[in-house]
A and B are shown apart, each in its own frame.
Chain A
Amino acid sequence: EDQVTQSPEALRLQEGESSSLNCSYTVSGLRGLFWYRQDPGKGPEFLFTLYSAGEEKEKERLKATLTKKESFLHITAPKPEDSATYLCAVRSNAGNNRKLIWGLGTSLAVNP
């Protein structure tokens, strides 16, 4: 069964303290892995798509990497405005399936 597990569930950092969030997945053929940011009471905001092992993408203080079993979202020198829940989702290449399988998210709090 396709599954996505994110860790840790919650993370509290001091401003400037770099860290990484993990997304482990099992899927019958990976078609894409997606990272989203979600602020309280709002819809998820698209960050990155990763397609193949070894791929990396960056946006401001965020860098996403992908292996055959997991993805990491690295946050370098975070600021309080980076506080949010970060969600990971995968799509399998089984048939014409366009449904995304989601993790439960990592709630990040960055203290000033």
Chain B
Amino acid sequence: DTGVSQDPRHKITKRGQNVTFRCDPISEHNRLYWYRQTLGQGPEFLTYFQNEAQLEKSRLLSDRFSAERPKGSFSTLEIQRTEQGDSAMYLCASSPITSAYNEQFFGPGTRLTVL
């Protein structure tokens, strides 16, 4: 499968614990995005990488959230001291640098439940 992959697919954690999610983009895509989606809502932008550089970060993203893409390939999203309000689907998407219009291709998502 050459699509975007995310791991784990599901994560259940207790409030206050830290969690880390991984995203592997389509191999030739150098742009990578993280979104959060709750039921009945569209995806909410969190952050964007071009290669290893984090170029944009949502103002909605608190200091508890951090993302990295150290070698410009896979990316990780860490949430520290999780809260029940962090429960959501976390989506990763990638797009190629050759796309002038920025079509983004999504992974299957990681469903986070904070108890």
Interface residue ranges, A against B (CB under 8 Å): 4, 31-32, 34, 36, 41-46, 49, 51, 87, 89, 91, 96-100, 102-105
Contacts and interface: CB of A to CB of B under 8 A. Distances in A.
B43 to A, nearest CB: 5
Contacts of A87: 42-43
B45 A43 contact: no
24 contacts: A31-B102, A32-B103, A41-B89, A41-B111, A42-B109, A43-B6, A43-B106, A43-B107, A43-B108, A43-B109, A44-B106, A45-B106, A46-B103, A46-B104, A46-B105, A51-B101, A91-B101, A96-B55, A98-B31, A98-B48, A98-B95, A98-B102, A100-B102, A102-B43
B67 interface: no
B45 A99 contact: yes
Contact of A104 (B33, B41, B55, B89): B41
Interface of B: 4, 6, 31, 33, 40-45, 48, 55-56, 89, 91, 93, 95, 101-109, 111
B32 to A, nearest CB: 11
Contacts, number: 64
Interface SS of chain B: strand
Contacts of B31: 98
Contacts of B33: 98
Contact of A89 (B42, B105, B107): B42
A103 B109 CA distance: 19
